[in-house]
Chains A and B, each alone.
Chain A
Amino acid sequence: MKQYWNRFFLKNGIGISVYLLIAMLVWLGMLIMLPQFFMFDFSFRFNLPPADLGGPKDVYTLSHYKYMAFGSEQATDSYNVVDVWVFVRTILTAMFVTLFDLALCYPIAYYLAHVAIGGWARLMVIALIVPYWVNELLRAFAFKIMLGTTGIINNFLIWLGVIDTPIEFILENYALYAGLGYAFILLMIFPIYNAIESLDRNQIEAARDLGSPWWRIHKRIVIPYAKPGITSGCTMVFMLTAGALAAPQILGGPSSLWFTQIIYQWFNQGNNWQRGSAYAVFLLFSTIVIVLITMKVFKVKLGEVSR
């Protein structure tokens, strides 16, 4: 062990070694790991006024997690209907959005990687990136403009005569779904594109030569090969959608609620940081667990999912 330290300092010189060690301590310790531990710890503590903190009342408790599942003691329901339902909706919607993005982006990624030619392909890549230079809030806002009751989509549909009165896209949460589907397209396309691009085109040619229909080519050759990329894209989109805050804030109708919004409320209005932390911890763990389970089910290893 001591030999390792000696070699480290010898290899890098004193100055650089000190810089590396301090930077790692600050980043890994103070910025990444400690805050997570503190938040985790916080989620098990009571919401006490500042005076009582550190005092005898400051003990560990599971009350916040209990509340999340069962609701307050005064409620009539046997479990916390609202919060649990919001959580389930958030997760299900995130999954749905992920699948939607996958269905949308896979063909585009394939087209970009294997069908589009040189200059046209480069143009397409730029065209894909440009929208993402715009802030996510503004992008959500753009959807709000378009899908409002007097927005252009409604006007267009009325003009066409398809409908008589405007569709309440926002109220009915369609705007939110469209906005969420839109938000992370880039993160789905590029991992898949990278994975497919490295596939030898000859394999596809060979399969076509042997008389395989296009859907089988994809099912048996392209998709298995691109699995790491697909998993990577889906993981990122799922986690980002489940943890999204901007789009729900802006596009969510009043009857919709995203789990992250509940967390925000506990911090901002409920003034219960401890409870908010508990909800946050729960969100973190559940999304990680879901991702890991999916990876196990589809037999993808952790090491392959790298950017």
Chain B
Amino acid sequence: MMGAVTSEKLTRVFTILFVLVFFAYLFGPLIVMGMSAFNTSSFPRISPWDCFTVEWFEVLTNDTDLMTGLRNSITIAIGVVILAIPLGLAGALMLTQVSSRLRPWYYTIVISPILIPGVVLGISTLVFWDRMGRMFNASYESFFYDGIFLTIVGQSTFVAAYAMLIFISRLQRFDAVQEEAALDLGATHVQTFRRILLPFLKPAIGSACVLGFLASFENYNTTIFTIVSKSTLTTVLASKVRYGINPSISALAVIIIALTLIGAVYFEIIKRREERYERDIDKLVKAGSTDRAKKASLLTNPAMLIATVVFIAGLGTVYFAGTIGVDECKAAIAEQKAIETLRKVDEFKKKQMFKKAAPGLETGTGADTPTTTEPETEAKGTEGYQSIFAPTNLEGQVDSDKKE
């Protein structure tokens, strides 16, 4: 029996270790990247740590390529939502109407954009509209060849599928008899759609819009083909990561994470409020009361206020910490580095003198060789290896945007 007990304990320990290692793998890179956004070192890293700063966020906002890409990303995302949501809704509605024999085929076709590699979606969209453009003899300025249009169309193909899944799930809980009741009372089909179905779908439409916006915003595989001569945030990001890396990219990551976390916290608070409201209603109905349940105001909600205060305070603290004393800190570090360099040069000189004086003597450790400041951009190191395939040259992204 003793053996079984310890083996169980062993499994427990092993399991917990495994879980911890797993989450370290999951979060580690992100934490490192997040922290590197606040390090003054011009190459993103966290060790050695120089000074705490928020200057990279400013660099971010001054980056015109990135800003152009951001603007395009937002425009495209809005366009995708406008196009894909109605398509997805129609897809979901049709599913209930298609005969049961056809349904598996229909479902497969409609779901396929999610399974097909994004690369293939991008290429097929590009090729299709290019041919269509030729058929109509359209000029190169027309929408057939416009990166924004093509990207909206290409992304909508799979975003509509995601939207459809959301709608299908929501529709399953819809009491279709309501539609019959509305018709019976004299409503036309359009009125029924507008007054009965759409209000019910409102939460699903909301989630689909959010999901669609985010999916479009962060898409890369399809966009890189359909964007042609323009750029989005992701394509600019990709080229920047290949070329000049500085922590402004980490800063971008921090902003994204922060925004999502804040959004998630607010979302959770609102959801809790809804649940409490529903519970209050149930209590009142059971008691047979004619009173109405009150929905607590959002503005006076204590959790909401605390969260907002925490966020603002947090932002303020970070900002101040990052701007106060940065220059002094940088000066101190530069001084330190200068001293270190001088010391090393000194040592090297001494070694040379030793060698001249006593050529046979081996002194010093290997670490004496003077090193200048560590490589600023590691990209240069790897780019030294030029193979015949000139891997993934994304320079087109950064330059052509400047032409706009």
Question: Is A in direct contact with B (CB under 8 Å) within the complex?
Answer: yes
Give the interface of A toward B (CB within 8 A): 8, 11-16, 19-20, 23-24, 26-28, 31-36, 38-39, 42, 50, 53-54, 82, 104, 107-108, 111, 115, 126-128, 130-131, 133-146, 148-152, 155-156, 170-171, 182, 185, 214, 235-236, 239-240, 242-246, 248-250, 252-255, 257, 260-265, 267-269, 273, 276-277, 280-281, 283-284, 287, 303, 307
Bound-state CA distance A15–B36 (Å) is: 56
A243 and B119 within 8 A (CB) = yes
Interface residues as binary, B379-391 with A (CB distance below 8 Å gives 1, 0 otherwise) = 0011101110111
A249 near B237: Cβ-Cβ < 8 Å: no
Do A245 and B389 touch across chains, with their CB atoms under 8 A apart?
no
Give A285 Cβ to nearest chain B Cβ, in Å. 10
> What separation, in Å, do the CA atoms of A170 and B101 have in the docked complex?
51
- Asked whether A214 lies within 8 Å of B11 as measured between CB atoms, the reply is yes
Closest to B218 in A: A135
Among B11, B90, B256, find the residue whose CB has the most chain A CB atoms closer than 10 A: B90
Report the bound CA distance from A255 to B250 in whole Å: 26
Partner pick for A261 among B32, B121, B250, B391, CB 8 A cutoff: B391
Q: Which residue of B lies closest to A82 (CB)?
A: B389
- Asked if A146 meets B127 with Cβ closer than 8 Å, knowing A135-B256, A170-B382, the reply is no
B228 to chain A minimum Cβ distance, whole angstroms, is 10
The reply to whether A54 and B190 contact each other, CB–CB distance below 8 Å, is no
Partner of B128, one of A8, A26, A39, A128: A39
Given A13-B190, A255-B385, 8 extra CB contacts under 8 A: A16-B189, A115-B15, A141-B237, A142-B33, A182-B26, A245-B224, A254-B383, A260-B117
Q: Which residues of B come within 8 Å of A, CB atoms?
A: 11, 15, 18-19, 22-23, 25-30, 32-33, 36, 43-47, 86-87, 89-91, 93-94, 97, 104, 109-110, 112-121, 123-128, 130-131, 134, 153, 156-157, 160, 165, 188-190, 192-193, 218, 220-221, 224-225, 234, 237-238, 241-242, 245, 249-250, 252-253, 256-257, 260-261, 264, 374-375, 378, 381-383, 385-387, 389-394, 396
Q: Given A115-B15, A137-B237, verify A39-B127 contact (CB < 8 Å).
A: yes
Q: Which of A14, A139, A145 contacts B250 (CB 8 A)?
A: A145
B391 A12 Cβ-Cβ under 8 A:
no
Nearest-Cβ distance from residue B194 to partner chain A, whole angstroms? 10
Let me know if B391 and A127 touch, CB within 8 A.
no
B90 and A19 contact, CB distance less than 8 A: yes
Which residues of the partner chain B approach A269 to less than 8 Å between Cβ atoms?
Answer: 390, 393
Asked whether A243 lies within 8 Å of B221 as measured between CB atoms, the reply is: yes
- Secondary structure dominating the interface of B: helix
- The answer to whether A151 touches B45, judged by C-beta atoms less than 8 angstroms apart, is yes
Residue of A nearest to B89 (CB): A23
Given contacts A146-B28, A249-B394, contact A27 B385 (CB under 8 A): no
Residue pair B117, A239 in contact (C-beta under 8 Å):
yes
Contact B256 A134 (CB under 8 A): yes
CA gap between A19 and B130 in the complex, in Å = 27
Determine which of A133, A137, A281 lies in contact with B241 in the assembled complex, contact meaning CB atoms within 8 Å: A137
- Known contacts: A27-B160, A280-B119, A283-B120. The answer to whether A108 contacts B134 by CB under 8 A is no
Question: Of the candidates B104, B189, B389, which one forms a contact with A15 in the assembled complex, judged by CB atoms under 8 Å apart?
Answer: B189
Task: Given A13-B189, A107-B15, verify A150-B45 contact (CB < 8 Å).
Answer: yes
Residue of B nearest to A254 (CB): B385
Closest approach, in angstroms, between the C-beta of A8 and any C-beta of chain B?
7
Instruction: Report the bound CA distance from A16 to B182 in whole Å.
Output: 15
Contact (Cβ within 8 A) B11 A149:
no
B237 in contact with A135 (CB, 8 Å): yes
Docked-complex contact B15 and A111, CB < 8 angstroms: yes
| Smallest beta-carbon distance B255→chain A, Å | 10
Question: Which residues of chain A come closer than 8 Å to B28, judged between CB atoms?
Answer: 146
- Complex CA gap A214/B12 in Å reads 12
A23-B391 CB under 8 A given contacts A38-B127, A144-B241, A146-B32: no
Inter-subunit contact A28/B130 (CB<8 Å): no
Residues of chain A within 8 A of B386, CB atoms compared = 254
A245 to B91, alpha carbons, bound, how many Å? 29
| Residues from chain B with Cβ under 8 Å of A152 in the complex | 32, 45-47
A53 (CB) vs chain B CBs: closest residue = B134
- A109 to B: closest C-beta gap in Å: 11
- B374 lies within 8 A of A150 (CB): yes
| Among B90, B126, B193, B225, contact of A23 (Cβ-Cβ < 8 Å) | B90
| A253 & B382 in contact (Cβ 8 Å cutoff) | yes
The answer, among B32, B43, B221, B385, for a CB contact under 8 Å with A244, is B221
Q: Would you call A104 and B120 a contact (CB within 8 A)?
A: no
**Is there contact, CB below 8 Å, between B87 and A26?**
yes
What residues of A have a CB within 8 angstroms of the CB of B375 in the complex? 150
Contact B387 A138 (CB under 8 A): no
Tell me if B249 and A136 are in contact (CB < 8 A). no
Distance in angstroms from B195 CB to nearest chain A CB is 13
Q: Name the contact of B123 in the complex, choosing from A128, A148, A248, A277 (C-beta under 8 A).
A: A277
User: Can you report 7 residue pairs joining A to B where beta carbons are below 8 Å apart?
Assistant: A28-B109, A38-B128, A145-B29, A248-B392, A253-B385, A254-B391, A265-B392
Which of the listed residues B18, B93, B115 has the most CB atoms from chain A within 10 Å of its own CB?
Answer: B115
- Which of A31, A146, A150, A277 sits near B156, CB closer than 8 Å? A31
* Residue contact B94 to A16, C-beta cutoff 8 Å: no
Q: Are B391 and A252 in contact (CB under 8 A)?
A: yes
- Knowing A136-B218, A145-B45, A253-B382, the reply to whether A283 touches B117 (Cβ < 8 A) is yes
Choose among B112, B245, B253, B381 the residue that contacts A32 (Cβ–Cβ < 8 A). Answer: B112
CB distance from B399 to the nearest CB of A (A): 13
